[in-house]
Amino acid sequence: MTDPIVLESDTDPAPAAPFTPAEERAMRQALDQAQNAWLVGEVPVGAVILRDDADGLPQVIATGYNRPITTTDPTAHAELVALRHAAQLLDNYRLPDCTLVVTLEPCAMCAMALMHARFKRIVFGARDPKTGAAGSVVDLFALPQLNHHTIVAGGCMEAECGAMLREFFAERRAAHKARQAARRAPAEDDAIPVADVTVDDPIPIGVAVEIDPDPPVPPDARGAPA
């Protein structure tokens, strides 16, 4: 009798999914928040904060979207807008039981704020090759010198998050090119203005004035003394 064939899949457990269903639902909500940012002319980034209830079920406790331009606040990134709402709701500046779900990799400012708030987990969608502070440019979450370490998972619905950002910037570039083209085009008002009148129309005031000619002087009066 031969030994049974043991498949690798029979011995090794299936790898755990990187994102929970609750986190994926939250990412869809974060995309809705990002759409709100787009509608007001902001870069479309949205964030959602989750916290388990008494039964251990994740609940949304705060949302936010990018609004630094509309609020004239350079710190009003989606993560910080949501963080402020959550801290006020829970009446605590520390949020160790919370997970933040955001459509774009946090920048250095947001990363440090989230670690100061003691978030237990960060989930982000698209990676940011210019300012990403969770591995793309620098990984602040991995610094061993810091006294708090947050779990970070990137790439949740990355295609959808990235597509929204690309479409937004493509639209913005197209609008910019249209404005530039409009500035370079010759204006219709550059032509010499011509009064809109015909021969039989009365001459409008301001265009010309009719002056009666002086009466002719009689020949005899030209040399007569005054």
Residues with a known catalytic role? 79
Q: How far apart are CA 81 and CA 45, in angstroms?
A: 11
Residue that the structure tokens 């807008």 belong to: 81
Alpha carbon separation from 20 to 24, 97, 156, 164 (Å, rounded): 6, 16, 10, 22
Segment (H or E) for 116? helix 108-116
Segment (H or E) for 104? strand 98-104
- The values of phi and psi at residue 50, to 5°, are -110, 150
Q: How far apart are CA 110 and CA 89, in angstroms?
A: 19
CA triplet 169, 173, 176: central angle to 5 degrees?
140
